[in-house]
Amino acid sequence: MKALQFTAPNAMSVNEIAMPNIADDEVLLASRSVGICHSDIELLEGRYIIPFQYPIIPGHEWSAEVIEVGRKVAKFKAGDRVVGECVIGQEHFGFSISGAMAEFFIAKADWLHKLPDNVSWTQGALVEPFSCGYYATVRADNMDASDTIAVFGAGPIGLGVIAASAAKGGRVIAIEPSEARAKIARTLGAEDVIDPTKGDVKEAVLEATQGAGATVVIDASGRPDAMASTLEVAGFRGRIVIIGISVGGTASAGLGLIQSKELQIRGIIGSPGVWPETIRFLSRTNLDLSKLVTASFDISEADKAYHTVLTDKAQIKIHVTNLGN
Ligand SMILES: [Zn+2]
């Protein structure tokens, strides 16, 4: 079977390797759609946050079909459509243990969730990144149609935040300099998109909210200056959620605003415990996230897909598909 392997820092190839064998509590899966994520690039460059060994098969954003189940697996059967969580205890699926960027792969039954019939393979492979954006809206406490949500950054995670916030009935103001991303933000429900390179973001948000500021502010940009700006654009008792990652980043911020505006600030990591709810939300809202996928490649060209991620910064999410078997 074909698999994309990272074989050394900045070295990868699609190789013919042996089919994996399942243990009693495992499931053999045929990948259907697999997304490429920024953290895959860190793995390719050899600087992932936890230790790993070459060769490694990446791929933690995926949908797949069950081919065979181990003797002790009762919850799944051949033909089931599934997605799976990627942080499993101390291991990271697709990082410290091999992932889904192959024709076939194995996973423990405990990591899997069934995909409803109306959620496509493409949408299924977007559950992992979307669950992070969705979780940000959950941690913003009781988000509803009374909220105005300012979202910094409209990359794959920010677009998920925008889509979930709008689907919950909120009014969304996105802050994003790229015109291509702004366009997708609008189709996913952003009412206004502010270009932070053209004028003052705080003034623009205040103007859009009749001076009140946003009731919810979510940073999905990972930029320290944007994180500092969340304090400025939040209204009185605004709820701020930080999901963007900035290891070691610093910026000067108007810290007095935390007290004077009675702000609530939360940092979040990943999407713990919300996968079943995220999948149900996608299924019941019929939210079309497939607009995030700007290119796709067959598994036999998975290396080309990675090269495209590395060289074409206009891409938002690239998928690798395996629909041939
Ligand atoms: Zn990811």
pLDDT of residue 261: 98
Q: pLDDT tens, 154-206?
A: 999 999 999 999 999 999 999 999 999 999 999 999 999 999 999 999 999 99
Sheet hosting strand 234-242, strand order edge to edge: 190-194, 171-175, 148-152, 214-219, 234-242, 264-267
Distance (angstroms) between ligand 1 centre and the Cα of 193 equals: 25
pLDDT of residue 88: 77
Q: Assign 325 a pLDDT band (cuts: 50, 70, 90).
A: low
Cβ atoms 134, 94 nearer than 8 A: no
Distance (angstroms) between ligand 1 centre and the Cα of 252 equals: 29
Q: By C-alpha distance, which of 117, 158, 210 is closest to 172?
A: 158
CA distance 62 to 122: 8
B/e letters for 248-285, b = 16+ CB within 10 Å, e = fewer, are eeeeebeeebeeebebbeeebeebeebbeebbebbeee
> Which SS3 state, helix, strand or coil, does residue 88 take?
strand
- Is the pLDDT at 302 greater than 80? The verdict is yes
Q: Assign 231 a pLDDT band (cuts: 50, 70, 90).
A: very high
CA distance 210 to 54: 55
What pTM did the predictor assign? 0.94
**The domain at 2-118+286-321 falls in which architecture?**
Alpha-Beta Complex (3.90)
E strands within 117-213? 148-152, 171-175, 190-194
Q: Tokens 């697996």 — which residue?
A: 73
List all residues 6 or more positions away from 293 whose beta carbon is below 8 Å from its beta carbon. 35, 122, 126, 316, 317, 318, 319
Distance (angstroms) between ligand 1 centre and the Cα of 38 equals: 7
Distance (angstroms) between ligand 1 centre and the Cα of 270 equals: 9
Distance (angstroms) between ligand 1 centre and the Cα of 113 equals: 17
Average pLDDT, the chain: 96
- Which range has the worst mean pLDDT, 19-28, 42-51, 92-101, 111-120? 42-51
Q: Specify the CATH superfamily of domain 132-267.
A: NAD(P)-binding Rossmann-like Domain (3.40.50.720)
Q: Which two tokens stand for residue 15?
A: 């190789």
Distance (angstroms) between ligand 1 centre and the Cα of 91 equals: 15
Cβ atoms 310, 145 nearer than 8 A: no
Distance (angstroms) between ligand 1 centre and the Cα of 127 equals: 10
Q: pLDDT tens, 35-68?
A: 999 999 999 999 887 889 999 999 999 999 999 9
Helices 224-233 and 201-208, axial angle in degrees (round to 10): 30
CA distance 293 to 118: 18
Q: pLDDT tens, 119-148?
A: 999 999 999 999 999 999 999 999 999 999
pLDDT of residue 324: 75
CA distance 56 to 236: 48
Distance (angstroms) between ligand 1 centre and the Cα of 212 equals: 35
Cβ atoms 289, 3 nearer than 8 A: no
- Is the pLDDT at 87 greater than 90? The verdict is no
Q: By C-alpha distance, which of 207, 263, 211, 217 is closest to 236?
A: 263
pLDDT of residue 89: 79
Q: By C-alpha distance, which of 309, 126, 311, 136 is closest to 221?
A: 136
- Is the pLDDT at 75 greater than 80? The verdict is yes
Domains of the chain, residue spans:
2-118+286-321, 132-267
Distance (angstroms) between ligand 1 centre and the Cα of 167 equals: 22
pLDDT of residue 86: 86
Higher pLDDT, 60 or 270: 60
Q: Which two tokens stand for residue 304?
A: 């080309």
CA distance 323 to 289: 20
Which residues have CB less than 5 Å away from ligand 1 (the ion)?
37
DSSP string of 18-43, one letter each residue: PPP---TTEEEEEEEEEE--HHHHHH
Please determine whether the domains at 2-118+286-321 and 132-267 fall in the same fold group of CATH: no
Q: Which two tokens stand for residue 146?
A: 């009374």
- Residue range 10-21: average pLDDT? 97
